[in-house]
Amino acid sequence: MSNSVDPSMNSGIQGRQFLVTSVRLTQWTFATIRLALLLTSLFFLSWIVNHRPVSWDLTETRLFSLSEQSTAVIESLVAPVSLIVFVRGSADPLVERALEAYADASSLIEVRVVDPDAEPALASAYEVRDYGTLVVASGDRVQRAADIREPAITNAILAVTRGEPIPLCFTFGHGERNPSEREPVGLSAATTALTQTNYEVRPVNLLIARDVPEDCRIVAIVGPATDFHPEERAAVERFIDDGGRVLAMLESRVDTPEIDALLAGYGVRPNTDFIIDTGRNGQAFGLGVQVPMVDAYDPHPVTDGFRLMTMYNMPRSIGVAEPMPDGLAATVLAASTRSSWGETNFDPGAGANWTEGEDLAGPLPIVVAVAGAVESIAAPYRARTRNNEPPPVGDPSLVVIGDADFASNAFFGWQGNGDLLVNSINWLAGQQDLISILPKEVANKRVLLTDGRRGLVFTLLVLLLPMLPAVTGLVVMIKRVK
């Protein structure tokens, strides 16, 4: 018997061994490639998370996002701005997050966190004496803020990039609302918001001054209880004719013929009524039909993109001349509903009732803006108007609001009241890039349940829901036994 091995068998064994080796090599190669791709993906993912973080703000008021106002300020920057916060050790994560939001919004903004103990020379150069101080610098302008929150940061950026605050003169001497008063009827909340938007609020007595101060950009007449003197009316007329702007907020049931005549010269006249609105009012908030609410606005730079409700307390309606004086155009920014009327003969005993032929039928204008008329408007803006009717976007002259409570401390923080007021002033001042929504504060949201609903929630969540797994298991067991 021969012990020789068939060469073909040898060849087959070697082929299978080579095939096995090749398969294993291929598997190791692909495993190595997959591992390399996984490590590379993890590296890039880690880099993106650390250098280009992505987050979503799902809060109702976008509490953790920059406001539209801050975004408008940032987009208007033309020079670099440094945000330097001086803290001991490391900054609070929320503070760093707030500052980084500005840096992420523009490459012109640089953020630094500095320990003044480690860099005393820098702290001395910026005259920093307390921990937690924010320094905002641009060129040779420096602004310090102890409050490191969005309103203060944006206000500081405005101060170093736009120069001195814009003077805003409030008239007094006729029982007007006080810009510094903290009571519900005062305007301290509005003053704070305006100061944070780079305005300087000043009082002015026109009867003594005889003329509006030359550096005043806007004159605000807010809730006078008595009328102007003819000399004061003439002073404001000269101011408007010289390019000044006026914000008038007038209460109902107050007789002001001089102020009315002043406004009538520019195509608007407050009516001697107050609005009752049964269609949309403040009854849901414990108020009444004498508090109209507005949630729709005509196209205008003041209300472009505005989606908040505003509330007015017994406002008087504003009449608009037809036709307007030459060279002027008016836009009704806010009006009552069709289910409203202007009460002209209010009887406290009988209450407010519609009287045919005497009361004014709604809808009635509450907020009116007057500007120099323009003949042509850019196509993109015309596309956002109703029926292709261009809004007045010429030289601003007046904003007239038929209510002073609208801006008071009691109403300023409600929904869009404060935003609409500041937007109107920004438009009058020519700061249209700042017309947007103010930074929002944390809202105290509560769900109020009746006794019946409270019992239903207890039954569902405390009794039935915990028993659901046990009942399901019992049903499954009974079916298996059967």
Structure confidence by residue, pLDDT tens digits, 419-430:
899 999 989 988
Top mean pLDDT of 38-47, 107-116, 220-229, 456-465 is at 220-229
Pair of tokens at residue 455: 């019992």
Map tokens 């409203």 to a residue: 340
pTM of the model: 0.69
Pair of tokens at residue 354: 């519609």
From 149-153, 186-190, 247-251, the region with the lowest mean pLDDT: 149-153
pLDDT (average), residues 191-215:
89
**The pLDDT of residue 168 is above 90:** yes
- pLDDT at residue 333, rounded to an integer: 94
- pLDDT at residue 125, rounded to an integer: 87
96-112 b/e (C-beta count within 10 Å ≥ 16 → b): bebbebbbebbebbebe
Residue 274 belongs to what H/E stretch? strand 274-277
Q: Which fold has domain 166-434?
A: Rossmann fold (3.40.50)
Spatial distance between the Cα atoms of 240 and 234, rounded to a whole number of angstroms: 10
Q: Which fold has domain 68-157?
A: Glutaredoxin (3.40.30)
